[in-house]
Structure formats: C-alpha cells, structure tokens
Amino acid sequence: MSQDTPRVTNFIRHIIDGDLANGKHASVVTRFPPEPNGYLHIGHAKSICLNFGIGNDYQGKTHLRFDDTNPAKEDIDFVNSIKEDVKWLGFQWAGDIRYSSNYFEQLFDFAVELIKNGKAFVCQLDSEQMREYRGSLTTPGKDSPWRERSVDENLDLFQRMRDGEFAEGSHSLRAKIDMSSPNIKMRDPIIYRIRFVEHHQTGNKWCIYPMYDFTHCISDAIEGITHSLCTLEFEDHRPLYDWVINNISIDVHPQQIEFSRLNLEYTVMSKRKLATLVEDKLVSGWNDPRMPTIAGMRRRGYTAQSIVEFCKRIGVTKQENVIEMSALDSCIREDLDVKAPRAMAVLDPIKLIIENYPSDYVEELNVANHPKDESMGKRIVPFTKELFIDRADFREEANKKYKRLVIDKEVRLRGAYVIKALRCDKDDNGEITTIYCTYDDETLGKKPSDGRSVKGVIHWVSASEGLNAEIRVYDRLFNVPNPAASEDFSSVLNADSLVVYHHAMIEPSLAKAIPEAAYQFEREGYFCADNIDSSPEKLVFNRTVGLRDTWANDKK
C-alpha cells in the first residue's frame, strides 16, 4: 500500500499508539493466521487489510502463518490459494511463510512441561462422554475420572500417544484448569488429539496434533507477535489464550484484541457453509464468481483496489453489524468507472439491416475508449450494412417512455448514425428475426441538420466484423439478505444468479482481451475476461456489476 495513503484510526490503533508511547513495545508485529481448510473470503480480506495495514503504517512487520493443526480438513491447494490472495490484494509478508507445523516439536515440549507441572493430563473419555462431563452454560462440568493421574503416568501415556500406540479418539491430552468455570472453554479443554492423517507439511511424522487454541497462542509468542488481532467469536477464547502463555516457559505474551467480523448481505461467511456450497455442487467451485471468496471475486472482476477500499470504508469496531451489498458494489463501480475502457457487446442479438447503406462496405469509426479520459485514446469500430442490436432495444410499438428503437421512430447508434426503423420480419413463432431501417448519413457525430430531436441511444455490433463470445451475467447467489438463517441453502438460492449468453456478439477490439481485463460494456455493465475459461479461441466475459443498483427495486 502507498505510504501516502491517509492513516485511518480505530480502537485497535489507539491501543497500539498507547503501547508504543508508554514503552510496552518498541515496534509492532502482527500476523495473518488463516487455517488452510478453504479459500479466503471477503471477511478475511478485512483481516488482511487490518493486520498488514497496521504493519505497514507503523513500520513494523506482518507475518503470514498457516495455523495448520487439522490435516484432515487441510490441503496444499488451500495453502497456495491463500498465498496468491494475499499477494493479489497488494500485501507482502515479512520473511518466509510460517506454519504452526514448524513448531510441532516445541508445542510437544510445552505440553510435556504442562504435564510435569500438573497442568495437563491424559484423558480416556470418548467424545460423547466428554460432552456429558462438560456440563452446560447453567450447570458446571464434572472432573474426568483420569484427571488425577500421576505425572509419570501422564508422561508415559502422552509419549505412547505420540508413538501411535492408541486408536483415534481413545486418548487425548487435556489442560487441567477448572471444570466449574462459567467459561466452557476453560473446562479442561483438549490440547492434543490422535489423528492418523498425513499432513501437507510434515507428512506422516506425527499422529498427534495440537488443538487450535493451544497452538495459536504459542505460535504468536514464538514469533514475537505484539498484537494478536482476531474476530469477536474468539473473545471467550482469550482466557485460555492467556492461561496457556502464563503456564509455559516463554517470555513473550502477545495481547489478543477482538474486532467485529464482516457480515455481508446476500451471502454467507462461514467456511463450513461455503464448503457445503462447493461439495453439494450448488456452485462450480471455490472460485465460482458468485462466491464471496477472494478468488471468486477476482474472477468475477472485482479489483484488489476496490476490495481494499471497501475494507477501509466499513472500518474496524467491536460492534456487530451487517453491511449492505450496495456498499461493496459502489466501491467496484467507482474504481472501474475511472479505469475501465468502454466497448460494445450485444448479449441477445437480433439482426438490423440498414437498407440505404452501401453493401460490402466497412466504415471505420473512431470511438473514444473513455468519455471522461482522452488519454485512454480511441479505437476503431467497424460499421456495416448489417448490424446486431440487443433484442430488448426494439419494439414494434411502445409508449413515449421507451427511448429505444420503434417502428417509424429514430434512435442513435452509439458513436455512429441516427437510424429509423421501417419494418421487421418474424419467424413462425412470432419471434422477430430481422429489423429493417434507414440511416441519416449526415448524422455521424452530429445532430440531424433539420433540428429534429433524437433522444434514444443504443449499442450495436457489426454482423460481419463482430466476434462471437460467451457472456456470463452474474448476480447475487441468494435471494434473501440473511441466507445463513435458512436451514436449507437450496431454498434461498437465487435462480437468476447466473444467466449465460452463448451467442453474444462483441466488437472486434475485444479480440485480444487478456484474462481479468475490465471493460464497461455500453449500457450493460462492467465485465471482465474470465481468468480461467477465456482464450482467443473462445472469448468468455463475466459481468462484475451492473451500471446501477437495480436489485432493491427489481426484487421487491
């Protein structure tokens, strides 16, 4: 991020300012610690911007660390996608990428230390018994029958767990804290469990894996993290975070600070629920352009700058709230309005023949790439006797509010001439197949000489010079603001979240559109070339966002 970017303050920065002023810390070290069990989403982007933004603004450091303690749900593909997302958003981590698995030996030693100090024990309750013994929010838990094992017996059993002598679920290592604590997280939580699963970093070296709450705080301390920033759902984890650090031999004690997570209308932010969408094939994958994943948003055409700006605008607070989708859409519209060149694409083409235009003549029109930025130059758009216009831009009859093409009425073709519709042909089903019209050859770039007013403007593509393309019009995946409240995802899916136009026509200037290149298709919206499926042989464009927010009115 630019050093010239104005610093935005919030309650976390106030804490950091105080820590630096009173000498608690001489510098700031933050971290972004994703679990590699799915793709990052827009909520993670908020955390990325916060952690890396603080690291940059305070001339400190931000680590990228994978908290990889559950190999059963993790995958190297998730690791690679997360690294790519952070870089794409414009941030660079300090030093090498870190993994909690790098610290597995140290974590094991700290667990042994807890056992030796009488602060941890090996338990043989199974998962169902564990739930029974844990108690509830209104009733205290019960001590495990194995809570008072001797230190020597616990050390022996824990080593045998590591050596693979016991079956999964038969033994676990638990912290010895307080089974009557009002905070259920403090009721002798499991800190190690047995898993005979190959790990993407350590292979089959380990068959016991530390739990997240034990691993995360120690990893922070090992790395010298000063401020451990996390979302509010970890607030009741903080006493355990502090307990672990206070009961092992380590000098650094990071400060955990919680902030509100991002809740966005018409989508879900749970990785578990996003995984369900993928696994149940309700979307095409983690990078489906309808998904709120960073990879999906990037594929759809959201820019890194628009996402960072969105995260800046929503701010950082402790107050839970729901952000309207229109706030995100505004950021991408504002960004692309400035930087996206204009082009013409006809999604649902219908042929238009200009009867008084010369046959076999291709006129090269110079059309501005951007109406507000001359530095973006001009492009050649071929104009011919036969064109395609959008089917929705023609009616045989219409009232005065309809400003497009009507029989015996005139419109202007964008960047070209004024035309007048004469008649149309229809097929056996009554569908219009061809429109016939005339053009006024004195109206290129100027108004009709007799002063008549022509208010409508429509876009077009040459029938002979235009190119075929597949255009995917994406919309919100769900049709209710809070889909997470529904028990059945499929019942609230938006049936119109993807409409594909297989026979769209585009102007030839788009022939060499590179993946992720953004354009404003005149009167249609902002689009980008798909970064997976589009190629010179088959051009595929995704709609990023419409020109206006029509959702509120259209969906009432």
Tens digit of each residue's pLDDT, the chain (556 residues): 344 445 678 999 999 999 999 999 999 999 999 999 999 999 999 999 999 999 999 999 999 999 999 999 999 999 999 999 999 999 999 999 999 999 999 999 999 999 999 999 999 999 999 999 999 999 999 999 999 999 999 999 999 999 999 999 999 999 999 999 999 999 999 999 999 999 999 999 999 999 999 999 999 999 999 999 999 999 999 999 999 999 999 999 999 999 999 999 999 999 999 999 999 999 999 999 999 999 999 999 999 999 999 999 999 999 988 999 999 999 999 999 999 999 999 999 999 999 999 999 999 999 999 999 999 999 999 999 999 999 999 999 999 889 999 999 999 999 999 999 999 999 999 999 999 999 999 999 899 988 888 989 999 999 999 999 999 999 999 999 999 999 888 899 999 999 999 999 999 999 999 999 999 999 999 999 999 999 999 999 999 999 988 765 555 4
Q: What is the dihedral sign for C-alpha 199, 205, 207, 210?
A: negative
Domains and CATH numbers, the chain: 105-212 (3.90.800.10), 350-462 (2.40.240.10)
Q: Which of 52, 41, 40 is nearest to 92 (CA)?
A: 52
387 by Cβ neighbours in 10 Å (0-12 / 13-18 / 19+) ranks as buried
- Count of C-beta atoms within a 10 Å radius of residue 514: 10
What pTM was computed for the model? 0.94
Active site residues: 35, 261, 271
Say what the pLDDT of residue 187 is.
98
Question: What is the rounded CA–CA span in Å between residue 415 and residue 425?
Answer: 26
21 by Cβ neighbours in 10 Å (0-12 / 13-18 / 19+) ranks as exposed
* Three-state secondary-structure class, residue 202: coil
Say what the pLDDT of residue 549 is.
83
CA 3 to the chain's CA centroid: 25
Helix (H), strand (E) at residue 538: none
Question: What is the rounded CA–CA span in Å between residue 225 and residue 133?
Answer: 35
All residues at 6 or more sequence positions from 108 whose CB lies less than 8 Å from its CB, including other chains: 162, 208, 210
29 by Cβ neighbours in 10 Å (0-12 / 13-18 / 19+) ranks as buried
Q: Is there a contact between 515 and 529 (Cβ–Cβ < 8 Å)?
A: yes
Question: What is the rounded CA–CA span in Å between residue 394 and residue 397?
Answer: 9
Locate all alpha helices (DSSP H) within 33-170, ordered by sequence: 42-57, 76-88, 104-116, 127-134, 151-162
Question: What is the rounded CA–CA span in Å between residue 69 and residue 67?
Answer: 6
Say what the pLDDT of residue 2 is.
42
- The alpha-carbon radius of gyration of the chain (Å, integer) is 30
Question: What is the rounded CA–CA span in Å between residue 347 and residue 471?
Answer: 7
Say what the pLDDT of residue 279 is.
96
| Structure-block tokens of residue 102 | 């790098």
- SS3 of the chain: helix, strand, coil, percent, to 5: 30, 25, 45
Question: What is the rounded CA–CA span in Å between residue 225 and residue 232?
Answer: 19
Output the CA angle 533-537-543, nearest 5 degrees.
45
Neighbouring C-alpha atoms within 13 Å toward the C-beta of 208: 27
- Count of C-beta atoms within a 10 Å radius of residue 370: 17
Say what the pLDDT of residue 6 is.
54
551 by Cβ neighbours in 10 Å (0-12 / 13-18 / 19+) ranks as middle
Question: What is the rounded CA–CA span in Å between residue 370 and residue 342?
Answer: 6
Question: What is the rounded CA–CA span in Å between residue 64 and residue 193?
Answer: 25
DSSP letter string, 130-189: HHHHH--SSS-----TTTT--HHHHHHHHHHHHTT-S-TTT-EEEE-S-TT-SSGGGSS-
Q: Is there a contact between 29 and 59 (Cβ–Cβ < 8 Å)?
A: no
Question: What is the rounded CA–CA span in Å between residue 209 and residue 191?
Answer: 8
Output the CA angle 541-544-550, nearest 5 degrees.
125
Helix (H), strand (E) at residue 314: helix 304-314
Q: Is there a contact between 273 and 478 (Cβ–Cβ < 8 Å)?
A: no
CA 499 to the chain's CA centroid: 21
Say what the pLDDT of residue 92 is.
97
Find the length of the chain: 556
207 by Cβ neighbours in 10 Å (0-12 / 13-18 / 19+) ranks as middle
DSSP collapsed to 3 states, 223-285: CCCCEEEEEHHHHHHHHHHHHHHHCCCCCCCCEEEEECCCEECCCCCCHHHHHHHHHCCCCCC
Say what the pLDDT of residue 455 is.
86
